Structure 1
Amino acid sequence: MLDAFPEGVIVDPGFQFFLLAISGAIAFLAGYFIPKMIQPAIAIAVSEKAGDTYSKIVDPYRSLIGIVIALGITDISWLIIPSPNDLWFEIVEIPLSLTLAIAATWLASRLFSNFFDVYLLDAALRKGRKTNSELLILGKYIANAAFIFVAIVIFAQAHQINILGILASLGIGGLAVAFAAQKTLEQLLGGIVLYVDRPFSVDDYIGLPDGTFGRIESIGLRSTKIRSSGKGTLIIVPNSSLTQVTIENFTGAKKVMAILYLNLHQVIPSEERALIRQTIVNSTDDIFGIDSRNTDVAFRDRKNGGENITQVQITFFILGSGDVSMDLRRQLLDLATQSITQQLRGYGIEFDIEESTIYVDSPITI
């Protein structure tokens, strides 16, 4: 641990209290003012664009940044100011340090999530390759797991906890448990694989190679319960078996229709209509989970306030999957819509978006 005073030096409790009070005041002021000063400082010292980037990604979590700064200064103060009572020191400092680790990990996770939504999705879309939403979600999970792992290691090192020894002991004990409960662990690992891979979710209708067809009632750590269609019986299948067979998810075949209306400022001739249609269709070719083959672009002439205009109705089809993946695909579709807007205006085609994108569920009939 940090030690700013020579060993054996006894600090008067009153003076110690005074130092802690000063450090607490500094922590409060720093946590309040520093987050407000960072964005203008970056804009002046680096560039206006860097300041805008900071305002989009970091500034929404200004309060959390202030809390982390205040906790960090307070924790450092407890480490460098000697305490006459080691028990009192441990009672206060360890929970304080643990709170700091949790807050810093949560902040890192939120910042990465915001960066992911604002920039990484857009970068993935602009690469011109198929954008797999499942891999993007997996990358998000891995990043969050890395933040947690780093926080645990730093906390352990700061408090002289031999984490490697603990892991080694757990490893030896884990081998003994693994041999004793091999089947149970296999089923538990199967449950983890199903949770990460998400081939189905509760209330999905699935079919298995042995002829089993029914609705998922629950997904447990060891087994999955399927309500059989027709008989109505409850089938309990070990998770380890489900990870080794082909699963046909009928509910996953549903589509969500995303409908967008563009009001062009004038009647558009057929040549420009072909350009608009091609631009719209090409915008979703590289998004995995968007059925670009069924993207429909319909034109119709209408009157708007006495003027003749052309209205474009765009219908996208988002292929069904897990709720998280569906939300991510909607975000990708929103980015594609922004790309369409920029391209059409780059061609000199002026229009207004009549309203926000409308999402309509179109489930498959079973």
Structure 2
Amino acid sequence: MLDSLPEVWNIETLVQLGLLGLAATLALLGSFSITRWPQLNYSPFISPQVTEVYQQVVKPYDGLLRLVISLFIADLLLLLISHNGELRLIEIPLGLTVAITGSWLGNRLFKQFFDVYLLDAAIKSGRQLNSELLILSKFIANSLIVVIAIIVFAQTHQINILGLVASLGIGGLAVAFAAQKTLEQLLGGIVIYLDRPFVADDYIGLPDGTFGRVESIGLRSTKIRTSGKGTLVVVPNSSLTQVSIENFTGAKKVMALIYLNFYQPISSEDRAFIKQVIMESSTDIFGIDTQSTEVSFRDLVGKNELVKTQAQIIFFILGSGEVSMDLRRQLLYMASQNITQKLEEYGIKFHIEEPTIYVDSPITI
């Protein structure tokens, strides 16, 4: 019977068509995975810890994860049958889509794991927390996910990425020797754009006495309008990356107000103990000005003339950017949870008034 089939419809062709149909089916199922796939319950076979991690980290992106898996299997099947020909025109865009979507999903999953578990573990470790180091670790992990996706895509499509990088490196060396000073200034501009020690309209001071407003940041130089004289100073970016820069605008100080409402009057001894717990809970958070932390108590008369005590806590959060400030707010929130846990262990009942109030506090120049 197989001998009666046309030559073009041989066994290999039929297998390829079957795999192509399976790939199309998986891609179609993946496109409807967010709402159509059944919710499977593996709890009898998985430990509670793994189940909790799944619920906290993976569950919010469950539909997207299934979509990526379906598209990945479909792309893998296409790779097996699309050695050449028109199927390559379908497989390459699909593979690129899988790489981009997969890396984005990986970044989202890591962010969820970072926010839910790593920050809490850092708080409970009892060591001083450097929020800038946490941000750097987060950036490195996200970059590593993207690099892995690029390498996997290149290797599966016979792209010699290592050879490409090496050839670019040899050509780059020749250009570097020819324009060393210019490249040094250009790299300085890139460093300033990435590190962002200042932005346009910031007031900065340099070690040579230059003080003024940043008018523009170019690839080779930065223009500063000096205060008083009003002259324009052009500074090479390579010089700015090697000196200490005092940024008067970028410094931020936010006052966080937290209210603890106790269910009964608090004695002076308990007030001293509560203040000690609060101060110790915020000492290890880098970016909290612990010397400016204030704790005050007052008695409130409620219904039926019942006297209750309220504690007002003022934290001062120092930061240099929105990402840093947001992360330190998260750390402060976890510190407040530790305060709650420690006080409840000693039988002190209260609740934290929501929400926490944040007020911008100017820094005196």
Q: Check whether TM > 0.5.
A: yes
Match of 1:291 in 2: 289
Match of 2:276 in 1: 278
| Cα pair 1:256 1:359 within 8 Å, conserved | yes
- Residue deviations 1:222-267 (CA, integer Å, cap 9, x gap): 3333232223343332221111111112234441100111111011
Partner amino acid for 1:203?
Answer: D
2:246 is the counterpart of 1:251: no
Give the 3 Å change call, closer, same or farther, for CA 186–318 of structure 1 in structure 2. Answer: same
Q: d(CA) in 2 for partners of 1:261 and 1:344? A: 14
2:176 is the counterpart of 1:178: yes
- Residue deviations 1:4-34 (CA, integer Å, cap 9, x gap): xxxx984687885564334322444467289
Match of 1:5 in 2: none
- Residue deviations 1:88-125 (CA, integer Å, cap 9, x gap): 11211111111111111111111111111111112122
Partner amino acid for 1:263?
Answer: N
| Cα pair 1:260 1:314 within 8 Å, conserved | yes
Q: 1:305 aligns with which of 297, 303, 306?
A: 303
Match of 1:336 in 2: 335
Count of aligned positions: 355
Provide the TM-score with structure 2 as the length reference: 0.89
Runs (4+) off by over 4 Å? 8-19, 33-38
- Map 1:183-202 to 2 at 5 A: 183-202=181-200
- Residue deviations 1:303-339 (CA, integer Å, cap 9, x gap): 2233210011110001131221111111111111111
**C-alpha displacement at 1:285, in angstroms?**
0.7
Q: d(CA) in 2 for partners of 1:300 and 1:203? A: 43
More displaced stretch, 282-291 vs 118-127: 118-127
Give the 3 Å change call, closer, same or farther, for CA 322–24 of structure 1 in structure 2. Answer: same
CA-atom RMSD in angstroms:
2.4
- Residue deviations 1:182-203 (CA, integer Å, cap 9, x gap): 1222122223333444333343
Q: d(CA) in 2 for partners of 1:192 and 1:274? A: 51
Q: d(CA) in 1 for partners of 2:182 and 2:359? A: 42
Q: d(CA) in 1 for partners of 2:197 and 2:28? A: 48
2:166 is the counterpart of 1:168: yes
| Cα pair 1:200 1:249 within 8 Å, conserved | yes
- Map 1:65-80 to 2 at 5 A: 65-80=65-80
Find the residue that maps to 1:257 and give its secondary structure: strand
Match of 1:4 in 2: none
Q: d(CA) in 2 for partners of 1:333 and 1:355? A: 14
- Residue deviations 1:72-93 (CA, integer Å, cap 9, x gap): 121022123467xx33112111
Give the 3 Å change call, closer, same or farther, for CA 80–187 of structure 1 in structure 2. Answer: same
Partner amino acid for 1:77?
Answer: L
Give 5+ residue unaligned stretches, structure 2: 1-7
| Cα pair 2:23 2:75 within 8 Å, conserved | no
| Cα pair 1:200 1:322 within 8 Å, conserved | no
Partner amino acid for 2:311?
Answer: V
2:325 is the counterpart of 1:326: yes
| Cα pair 2:30 2:68 within 8 Å, conserved | no
| Cα pair 1:215 1:227 within 8 Å, conserved | yes
Give 5+ residue unaligned stretches, structure 1: 1-7
| Cα pair 2:30 2:71 within 8 Å, conserved | no
Find the residue that maps to 1:154 and give its secondary structure: helix
State the identity as a percent.
61
Match of 2:3 in 1: none
Match of 2:238 in 1: 240
